[in-house]
Amino acid sequence: MFQIEGGWRGRRAASRGTPWKFGPCWRVQKALDDRCIAYEVVPGPWRPKNRTAVIEGTGQPLYPAIRFEDGSWYREESKDMARAISEGRFLAASLNP
């Protein structure tokens, strides 16, 4: 299991009860769900300058970012992350950060 940092979009949409699912975090979550990969969404700060854990782990403040149980991180543009997950390259990326 691993964590997706910055699930604020999903939390925000759920609290408003909107049926729309869009955005970078949702795109990665959908790819993980489609492949039946277990994960935990970790809500993070809305403002990029307050995302200290993500900045320390990835060197930049953008979401989504995935933190593995061993403490390593995975971060790319969400379309690239979703493609890697869908094509089965995600686990290889997690083993070779």
pLDDT exceeding 70 applies to what percent of the chain? 71
pTM above 0.75, yes or no: no
**Residue 83 exposed, middle or buried by CB count within 10 Å (0-12, 13-18, 19+):** middle
User: Cα-flanking dihedrals φ and ψ of residue 42, to 5°?
Assistant: -110, 110
pLDDT of residue 25: 84
pLDDT grade for 32, boundaries at 50, 70 and 90 = confident
Residues 6+ apart with CB under 8 A from 23: 9
CATH number of 2-95: 3.40.30.10
